[in-house]
């Protein structure tokens, strides 16, 4: 609704609240009482829905050297 508003402050506040609420929801889903394959699938769906470019952005930020270091662990 507020994406039509040209005020950057309103848009930034919305994005912050959205991120905060999604983070809270994901934290709840990974709690030991709720953790299950189904809850992990829900988290995957949430991330894909609200952050569709996350995979591309993450791949652009990660270098091959970083992946090589992670594989050592």
Q: Which of 29, 30, 6, 3 is nearest to 18 (CA)?
A: 3
pLDDT of residue 8: 82
Look at residue 1 and give its three-state secondary structure. coil
pLDDT confidence bin for 59, thresholds 50/70/90: low
The per-residue b/e assignment along 9-25, b for 16 or more CB within 10 angstroms, e otherwise, is eeeeeeeeeeeeebeee
Q: What is the pTM of this model?
A: 0.60
The shares of helix, strand and coil residues in the chain, as percent rounded to the nearest 5, are 75, 0, 25
Contact 31, 42 (CB under 8 A): no
Across residues 44-73, what is the average pLDDT? Answer: 75
Q: What is the pLDDT of residues 13-55, one digit of tens each?
A: 888 999 999 999 999 999 988 889 999 999 999 988 988 887 7
**Model confidence at 2: pLDDT above 60:** no
């Amino acid at each position: 609704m507020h994406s039509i508003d040209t005020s950057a402050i309103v848009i930034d506040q919305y994005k912050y609240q959205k991120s905060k609420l999604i983070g809270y929801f994901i934290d709840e889903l990974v709690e030991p009482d709720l953790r299950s394959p189904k809850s992990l699938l829900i988290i995957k769906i949430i991330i894909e829905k609200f952050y569709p470019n996350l995979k591309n952005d993450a791949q652009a930020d990660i270098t091959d050297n970083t992946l090589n270091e992670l594989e050592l662990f």
